[in-house]
Structure 1
Amino acid sequence: MTSHETGDAAVQQTLRALDPEVWLLTSAADHERGGLICTSVMNASIVPDMPRIVVGLARQHRTWQLVDASGRFVLHLLRADQIELVRRFGMQSQRDVDKFAELEVGRSPEGCPVLRDVAGWLECRVESGLDAGDRTHFLAEVTNGSPPAADIALLRMQGLLTTAPDEMRAELKRQLERDGAIDRQAISAWRAAHRTG
């Protein structure tokens, strides 16, 4: 891309240059637990003793309802070899299957599910939420955690998209297109309601 290229293709090419870690988010409320692959996670504080995170969760997912009800969640940082957890938590609905079946799962101090065999995890308490139409961006205080080892290889989005089996990549693409259509309608409705001139 040259410096003068503009438009949708240039925007998408620039966004593809980002290679975020793949995070798995879990939550629980009213004796129900859920989890999903979280596509939007960002550090939101430079104050070491006041860590904060922002996560964006699409409203159509059951796990969004659990976070909204409980005000708590755990973010799990995945290792490069944990693509199967993406299939389990990102490609099927909690409404249809117990995503936690046969996994070693503990409880965080605040009662959220914690997967034992991950690179690291952060427990978070919601401080605020911003409705953006297609999703809610939750600002959360980080209250607890377990760090990854210094030499561990983390699963990143581009690594997932290049190393996943062909059938998994095809299903991911299909689901992204479906979710994108849902999100497009929600964003359009939100913009129509919030634009002022």
Structure 2
Amino acid sequence: MHSDYNRRQFLRHASLGVCGLVFVGIDAAAKPTVRQVWIVQVSASGQVSAPERIDAIIQSNAQWHAQLSQDAFDITRREGTEAPYTGKYWDQHGQGIYRCIGCDTALFNANTKFDSHTGWPSFWAPIASENVHNTVDTRLGMRRTAVNCSRCDAHLGHVFNDGPKPTGLRYCINSVALNFIALA
């Protein structure tokens, strides 16, 4: 008797679910949920705006692969790391904004870049705390803090507590995750 009740309950819930899909529309149920994030926009002249809520960029691996170079895909989507002293921005000294290669979000201002003698571009602060987020990275048998773009979740690099004043932080970032735009 107990199994008959469970079977009837299952069939009842399943039929309600099917009716709900028909009522709402199967197409609507198949669409991914839109996620929004707070981002600070930065103009071509470096003007920083107030934080605004915008849609996150969510794409499949196939879409990212079509948009990015193989190296950029491996680093930003698979959490890779480029070899030191090989990236195009480790020794870059011009004034400008470093933007995400995946979504063009402003990430770092060249004013916060410093020579860390590590072979990667290093910054003591992001352009806005809203534009990056940190996650725990336990790969390679150690605990590190990974840095990702808040809008498209691209892996950028890691942040360490051995940077200069005023923050004491070193954002060690892969060049291939960035696009440098000189200030207009």
Taking structure 1 as the reference length, what is the TM-score of the superposition? 0.27
Structure showing greater Rg:
2
Higher strand proportion, which one? 1
